Structures are given as C-alpha cells and as structure tokens.
C-alpha cells in the first residue's frame, strides 16, 4: 500500500506555505477552537430556550433565573407562573438533558462506526444496530424482565445492539475491506429481521407492551425524567470516554490496516473494542427514547467539514453537535403542531433520509461504482 496520500498531511512544508513561513495548522486550530466555542454557546442557549418553550411558555430570562437559582446563584427573575419552576425542573429540563445525552451518544456512535468500517455510510440506524438494540429493549418489556432493576431495559438493549453490530461487522467485510453495497444490503437485511422480531413481540405482548414497542419504533423523548437520565448518562459517558481514548488509533486506522499495524495498532482488537463501545452508546440512546435515526450519519459529516478528519477534534465536536441537533429537533417535535408531540424519529428521518440518498449517490460517483 502506497503511503503517498499521507505525505501532504505529515509534511505541509512541501507546499507554498513553507516558502512564506506560514502554516495551515494555526488557521485550522483557530477555526476548530471557534467552532467548539460556537457549539458550546449554541447548545446552552438552545437548551434554555427549549426548556422555556411549550404549552406553558416561560420567558427566557426567567428560565435562566430558575436555572441559576438551583445552582445556588440568585441572579435574574424567577418564573412568575405558579407552576413555572416546577414545570421546568420536573418536565422540561429532564427532557432537554435527555436530548443532549442521546444526541451526543448517537453522534459519537456514528463517528465510531464510520471510522471502524472505513465507510461514510455507516450509522447505527442505517445498518440496523439501533433496531437490534430496540428488539432487546422490547423483549425486556414484553417478558417483564427485571433482573437489573432500572438498568434491565438498557442491558437488554446493549445485548441486542452488540449482537447486531457483530453480525454487521462479520457480514460487511470481504477480503479485508468493507464494501458500500455489502454494508447497505446488510443494513437492509438486519432492519428487516429486526422489524419482524418487533412485530412478533407486539403479537405476544399485551396492549400496554404494544404501545411501548410502537414508542420504540417512532422514537420520542416524551416522559423523560431525571431517574431515566441517571440511567442513560453513565452509559453514554463511559462510551464517550472510551471513544476519545481511541481517537489516535482511529486516525492511524484511517491510513489503512497495513499502515496501522506497522505503527503498532492491533487492528482487530481495536475494531472489536469499538464495536462494543458503539453497542453501549446505541443502547444508551434507545433504552428509554426508542429509535432516533440518522443523527449519527448527518452530524459527523457536517462536523468533518469544519474540523477535518482527525478524530481528536471530530469526536468531541460531534458530541456537542449531536446534542445540539437533537435538542433543536425535540423542540420542533414539541412545538411544530399545537397540543401535539410529534415522533422525534419521524422528524430526524425526514431530514436524514434525503441526506442519506445524496451521500449514497456522492459515494457512488466518487468511487466510480458500487465497489
């Protein structure tokens, strides 16, 4: 395997920038730093604005005042509505927090899958990992499993997601590489099998179980509570920390398997470990919120346009951007139609579906076919 493509990145001095004494790295670093600042500020503002929006509208300054008050800082006005503060901390803030955690988990999972498979089309919902995790969660609902208390649904979702990810990994690789057509067809097959299993579980379950399974398929943050956030957040945090720890190895893997091995990376061990991390993140995302599609596909691509392909910047930026995207999407789900809570998965699919089609055609054109 030729190492020529990696030379410009490793030796920027060979270009005109060397003759002028400048380097593109400071400009890229400044742009990335500004991007992180913008994402962080936008996430905070969007979260507070989303908390104040809904049937009971609470002005933004009062939301900020309530938030600071509960942090021990008595600055700003408190909500004037008698139920305003209680609504914020019982209903709105838990939902916003869940949106941030789920969005971050899905975006990081999508970034990892694209790095592991070396394919821009890899994403938990596209290749069926989310559906597999939902089958595990649905099985826990139908059969009333409770072996792990509040963690039972998340554990079953993790097992389902892990099994599905391993199947996809085994079937999508051929001759040491992952083909686009194999990955897409594998995802279609896995989603079909998962859909059949969900239908069977709906047939076996009672009315309440059927309603919960429909909830999984549509995806929603309705009913989010602090105790649910307390279950999902630790799983997502562990997954994100593991992903960040493997950022350098992912950068080396992007050079090619042979080059990565020569640089000391145990490629198969890395892939298996990251597959487990993806399953953990996906389980955290779907355990209480159901299937929310395409976040892990769209966010890494948009972020990569700003930060570049380096995972040490791409992973944390995707985490922030995924949280921001889902907070805004959930705000739309709650407010686009009066007195209605639209399925969150429906909104993300409406945007993500056309984006996936565009990306598929772009990948086909750039590769000269389906190879």
Contacts of 335 (CB under 8 A, 6+ apart): 53, 54
3-class DSSP assignment, residue 342: coil
Write the CA distances from 152 to 95, 134, 173, 288, 291, integer angstroms.
21, 13, 32, 11, 18
Specify the DSSP element, H or E, that contains 178.
strand 177-178
Residue 15, phi-psi category: left (phi > 0), alpha (psi -120 to 50), beta (remainder): beta
Spell out the residues 6+ positions from residue 261 whose beta carbon is closer than 8 angstroms to its own: 267
Report the predicted TM-score, pTM, of the whole model to 2 decimal places.
Answer: 0.84
Does residue 8 belong to any structural domain of this protein?
A: no
74 located within any domain? no
Residue 189 lies in a domain: yes
Residue 162 CA to residue 123 CA, distance in Å, equals 14
- Say which residue the tokens 């392909």 belong to: 309
Residue 14 confidence (pLDDT):
39
pLDDT of the chain, 371 residues: tens digit per residue: 444 444 334 334 334 444 444 455 677 778 899 999 999 999 999 999 999 998 899 999 999 999 999 998 988 899 999 999 999 999 999 999 999 999 999 999 999 999 988 877 788 887 788 889 889 989 999 999 988 887 888 889 889 988 988 888 888 776 666 666 777 788 889 889 988 998 999 999 999 888 888 877 788 898 899 999 998 999 999 999 999 999 999 999 998 888 999 999 998 889 889 988 998 998 888 888 888 888 998 899 889 989 989 999 999 999 999 999 999 999 999 998 888 888 898 888 888 888 878 877 776 676 554 34
3-state secondary structure of 140: helix
Considering the domain boundaries, does residue 3 fall inside one?
no
> Given its phi and psi angles, is residue 246 left (phi above 0), alpha (psi -120 to 50 degrees) or beta?
alpha
Q: What are phi and psi of 177, to 5 degrees?
A: -145, 165
Domain carrying residue 282:
108-367
Domains of the chain: total: 1
Q: Give me the torsion for CA of 195, 200, 202, 203, rounded to 10°.
A: 150
3-state SS of the chain: helix, strand, coil percent to 5?
75, 0, 25
Token pair for 109: 């999972």
Tell me what pLDDT residue 176 has.
Answer: 64
| Beta-carbon contacts of residue 339 (< 8 Å; ≥ 6 apart) | 55
What gap in Å lies between CA 290 and CA 208, rounded to an integer?
A: 16
In a domain, 172, yes or no: yes
Q: Specify if 47 maps to a domain.
A: no
pLDDT at position 177 is 65
Q: What CATH number is attached to the domain comprising 169?
A: 1.10.3470.10
Residue 288 within a domain:
yes
How far, in Å, CA of 24 to CA of 67, rounded?
41
- Cα(147)–Cα(283) distance, integer angstroms: 17
Q: Whose CA is closest to 75, among 87, 84, 67, 85?
A: 67
Residue 315 lies in a domain: yes
| DSSP of 200-214 | HHHHHS-HHHHHHHH
CA distance 54 to 334: 7
Residue at token pair 């694209």: 114
Residue with tokens 């590489």: 177
Residue 3: its pLDDT value, please? 42
pLDDT reported for residue 241: 97
Q: How far is CA 183 from CA 194, 200, 335, in A?
A: 16, 26, 36
End-to-end C-alpha distance for the chain, whole angstroms: 18
Q: What is the CA radius of gyration of the chain?
A: 22
């Amino acid at each position: 395997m030729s190492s020529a493509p990696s030379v410009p990145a490793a030796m920027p001095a060979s270009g005109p920038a060397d003759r002028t004494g400048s380097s593109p790295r400071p400009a890229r670093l400044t742009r990335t730093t500004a991007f992180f600042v913008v994402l962080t500020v936008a996430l905070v503002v969007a979260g507070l604005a989303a908390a104040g929006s809904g049937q009971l509208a609470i002005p933004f300054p009062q939301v900020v005042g309530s938030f600071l008050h509960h942090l021990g800082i008595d600055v700003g006005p408190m909500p004037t509505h008698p139920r305003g503060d209680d609504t914020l901390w019982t209903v709105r803030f838990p939902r916003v927090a869940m949106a941030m955690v789920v969005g971050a988990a899905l975006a990081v999972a999508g970034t990892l899958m694209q790095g592991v498979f070396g394919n821009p089309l890899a994403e938990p919902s596209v290749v069926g990992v989310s559906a597999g995790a939902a089958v595990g969660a649905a099985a826990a609902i139908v059969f009333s499993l409770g072996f792990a208390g509040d963690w039972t649904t998340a554990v079953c979702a993790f097992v389902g997601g892990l099994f599905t990810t391993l199947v996809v990994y085994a079937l999508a690789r051929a001759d040491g590489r992952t083909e686009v057509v194999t990955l897409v067809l594998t995802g279609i097959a896995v989603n079909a099998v998962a859909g059949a299993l969900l239908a069977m579980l709906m047939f076996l379950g009672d009315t309440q179980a059927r309603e919960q399974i429909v909830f999984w398929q549509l995806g929603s943050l309705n009913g989010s509570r602090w105790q649910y956030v307390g279950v999902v957040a630790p799983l997502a945090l562990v997954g994100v920390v593991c992903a960040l720890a493997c950022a350098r190895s992912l950068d080396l893997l992007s050079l090619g398997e042979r080059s990565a091995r020569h640089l000391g990376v145990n490629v198969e061990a890395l892939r298996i470990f990251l597959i487990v991390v993806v399953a953990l993140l996906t389980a955290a995302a779907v355990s209480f919120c159901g299937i929310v599609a395409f976040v892990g596909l769209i966010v890494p691509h948009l972020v990569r346009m700003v930060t570049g392909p380096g995972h040490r910047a791409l992973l944390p930026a995707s985490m922030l951007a995924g949280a921001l995207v889902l907070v805004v999407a959930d705000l739309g789900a709650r407010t686009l139609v009066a007195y209605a809570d639209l399925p969150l998965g429906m909104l993300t699919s409406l945007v993500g579906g056309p984006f996936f089609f565009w990306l598929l055609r772009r990948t086909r054109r750039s590769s000269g076919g389906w190879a």
